[in-house]
Amino acid sequence: SLSAPTELHRSGLAPWQQQRAIEQLQSRYHENLSIADLAVEARLSPFHFIRSFKRSVGIPPHQYLTKIRLERARGLLETTNLSITNVAFEIGYETPSHFARLFRRKYGMTPTAYRRERNT
């Protein structure tokens, strides 16, 4: 028996592609996950994957990954005593300064200030 051909969604990813991409981003956020890896999972070229992901989700995959990482970082800062450096490494950043810069841009304060505010 032949299965029906996959419907093309001109407005973005097919539901199975979107679900698979988001699952990959959420489960592998701490890894050095490439656009090429995600595109292979969706059976698209990297260019078409990026464009379709943005149409479906509203932001590009890299921004979505950053959002996931920073949300996880907030959880770690609130619930653990890990150093800022270890939090950065735990969520997939190679340098604490890059993590701190992104965190400050998103939340308006450094990770240290965020932790201090939540623990008072």
The span from the CA of 88 to the CA of 108, in Å, is 17
Q: What is the DSSP letter of 23?
A: H
pLDDT of residue 111 exceeding 50, the answer is yes
At 25, which helix (H) or strand (E)? helix 15-27
pTM (two decimals): 0.86
- pLDDT at site 119: 81
Per-residue pLDDT at 10 = 58
DSSP state at residue 30: T
Which residue in the block uniquely carries the two structure tokens 């200030």? 113
- The residue type of 76 is L
Query: Per residue in 11-48, pLDDT tens?
Result: 799 999 999 999 999 999 999 999 999 999 999 999 99
In Å, what is the CA distance from 1 to each residue of 4, 6, 111?
10, 15, 55
Question: In the prediction, which pLDDT does 15 show?
Answer: 96
